Structure 1
Amino acid sequence: MLRDLLTRAPRLAVQMLGWLGEPAGVPTLIHAMRHQELARAAGTAASLITGSHPGRDGWSGRGPDRRSDDSSPDAIPAIEADADWPWPDAEAFAAWWASHGDAIGTQRRFAGLPAAPPGWREVLRRGPLPWRPMAAEHLQHHHQGPAFPTDAPAFRQLTWMAGLPA
């Protein structure tokens, strides 16, 4: 199914690999990082699996030069779906993965942690803000209870986190 999805909707397939948290998908993500249209989505998916950050761990890349195709100086540039995501360097990430992949292991991961309640709670406490709603959703599914309110003020979230079951 993944092969079919990579053909029909490659961006969705790359994002799905990150959401699934399967370390076995990392080689596919490295390959996707080599393609400009998938690079940032693949880097973000790799981060979601490994917990590695391109800037911190030395696999940050440089994006393509920005050139306007519009002849009109008043044209508003299109908003890119990946605008907030960093550009990865596929070769640098491949080297990072070769050094750290064994420590990640083969079990499902979320932000580099085991895809289980303790890891999800850790992401809620200290993880990147964009990943917190996914961690809350995983906890909701696991505990079959209401979603964690990631849009509430931080002091309320900390109080609620203290009461989460193990």
Structure 2
Amino acid sequence: MIALVLEQHAEEASFLAILRDYAVGAPNYDLSHLATLDNRIDAHLDGLQVAGLKGLNLLLEQLRPAASGEVFAATVLAFRMGNSPALSSLGEHLRTSEEGERYFAAALGWLDWAVVQPWVERLLASPEPLFRRLGLAACGMHRHDPGPALLSALGNSDPSVLARAARTAGELRRRDLMQPIRLHRLHSDDALRFWSNWATAQMGDEQALPVLQQFAEQPGRYQERALHVALAWLPRETSMAWIRRMTQVPQQRRIAIKATGLFGDPVALPWLLQQMHDLPMARAAGEAFSLITGVDLALHDLERRDSPDFDAGPSDDPQDGNVAMDPDESLPWPEPTLVQGWLNKHSASLQTGSAYLLGEPFSEGACVRALSSANQRQRQVAAGLLARYIPTEAVFPVSAPAQRQKGLLRGRSV
């Protein structure tokens, strides 16, 4: 009976860790949803921890090559229990598992800083790029400045260490490190080139913005991150001209829709309404419309009554080369006529030529309010904008444990 209960705890903790990885960037999760999910994860981890080595060993036995959530759960327990042999086993597993590295890092970010700090110091001093990256990732996720270790990492010869060091420096807004980071802004390694420019853009480096625009115009893992930062820091006139150019390129129409929402000018709302008639673009256009106006399409019954016959993939056909998940899967299908009716009633409250975030003019307060109540995608936007308004603070960590985020938001004016 006890073994069965432990297996259930292990299965649920691993599954929920994977779900959380999705949830932190999902349009159907907000901070309260994230808190509920975090509590569920903690409950299962506590159940495993109460069992001591039995719970930990059960997780370690599940470390297959493709393990992900299992790595997260095992890492949390190993650190909480201070179990060096288990951490060594996890370290060996990570050497052959890129996915495992990501979930090990997520566990470092999940745990309290007091628990991981002694181990992070060892990771930062490791000669192995893998462990150096993990130490830097932990510091970045906790927004903890590693001091001289960060400058040392920026002198490393491994591009992956340099990329993670640049990212951490950007998250911490270490302006004193801008020059060594800028040395890599045209590097041939995509990750290093992106994170170097992302980091210095967060420090006000205008020369980083054209490189980020290039990333934003090309599909890939950095596209939306690049778009967020570029539009947060580009001059308004430059942004407007850039978006206008992208709308003229059919292959860039989707990212142009995203950019329009981020830009925040109500003048584009009629154009977004037009895009809602095109099924492949409809949900993205609805999301952009909501980002500007603040209207919740589902809550205000502005959705289509029936979902249209549209499948963005992947299909069940093994011969189908399209394996990408539908990026709009959790977004509502807007009904253009209903959205038009809403706009007719509310357009007078939105001034063209201004910028709005969720129905409020761009401001520090609007960003903080969005961080408190908006969905995770909208909170990502708010965090990026807030970084522009408060250039001396670390970038707000919208993927951190919910209780930690709530602590950071307490005391801020909303």
TM-score > 0.5, shorter chain as reference: yes
User: 2:308 aligned with 1:64, yes or no?
Assistant: yes
- Aligned ranges 1:51-130 → 2 under 5 Å: 51-61=294-304, 62-66=306-310, 78=323, 79-106=325-352, 107-130=354-377
**Identical aligned residues as a percent:** 27
The alpha-carbon deviation at position 140 of structure 1 amounts to: 1.1
2:291 alignment partner, SS class: helix
1:59 alignment partner, SS class: coil
User: 2:395 aligned with 1:151, yes or no?
Assistant: no
1:132-158 deviation per Cα after TM superposition (whole angstroms, max 9, x unaligned): 121111111211131011122222212
1:45-103 deviation per Cα after TM superposition (whole angstroms, max 9, x unaligned): 00000010111112112432257x9x976678852222121111111101100001112
1:57 alignment partner, SS class: coil
TM-score, structure 2 as length reference:
0.37
User: 2:253 aligned with 1:5, yes or no?
Assistant: no
Closer/same/farther in 2, CA of residues 139 and 84 from structure 1, 3 Å limit: same
* Corresponding residue of 1:32: 275
The alpha-carbon deviation at position 111 of structure 1 amounts to: 1.3
Return the alpha-carbon distance in structure 2 between the equivalents of residues 165 and 143 of structure 1.
13
* Corresponding residue of 2:266: 23
Return the alpha-carbon distance in structure 2 between the equivalents of residues 35 and 66 of structure 1.
11
Return the alpha-carbon distance in structure 1 between the equivalents of residues 395 and 273 of structure 2.
33
Closer/same/farther in 2, CA of residues 32 and 73 from structure 1, 3 Å limit: closer
CA RMSD of aligned residues (A): 2.7
Return the alpha-carbon distance in structure 1 between the equivalents of residues 255 and 407 of structure 2.
35
Match of 1:43 among 253, 273, 286: 286
2:374 is aligned with what amino acid?
A: G
Larger Rg: 2
The alpha-carbon deviation at position 14 of structure 1 amounts to: 0.8
Q: Which runs of 5+ in 2 are unaligned?
A: 1-240
CA contact (8 A) 2:365 2:413 kept: no
Closer/same/farther in 2, CA of residues 73 and 113 from structure 1, 3 Å limit: same
Closer/same/farther in 2, CA of residues 162 and 44 from structure 1, 3 Å limit: same
Return the alpha-carbon distance in structure 2 between the equivalents of residues 82 and 147 of structure 1.
26
The alpha-carbon deviation at position 163 of structure 1 amounts to: 4.7
Return the alpha-carbon distance in structure 2 between the equivalents of residues 160 and 72 of structure 1.
44
Return the alpha-carbon distance in structure 2 between the equivalents of residues 4 and 114 of structure 1.
25
Q: Which runs of 5+ in 1 are unaligned?
A: none
1:119 is aligned with what amino acid?
A: A
1:159 is aligned with what amino acid?
A: G
The alpha-carbon deviation at position 105 of structure 1 amounts to: 2.8
Return the alpha-carbon distance in structure 2 between the equivalents of residues 13 and 124 of structure 1.
24
Return the alpha-carbon distance in structure 2 between the equivalents of residues 143 and 137 of structure 1.
10
CA contact (8 A) 2:279 2:310 kept: no
Return the alpha-carbon distance in structure 2 between the equivalents of residues 34 and 128 of structure 1.
24
Closer/same/farther in 2, CA of residues 165 and 93 from structure 1, 3 Å limit: closer
The alpha-carbon deviation at position 129 of structure 1 amounts to: 2.1
1:56 alignment partner, SS class: coil
Tell me the number of residue pairs that the alignment of Structure 1 and Structure 2 aligns.
166
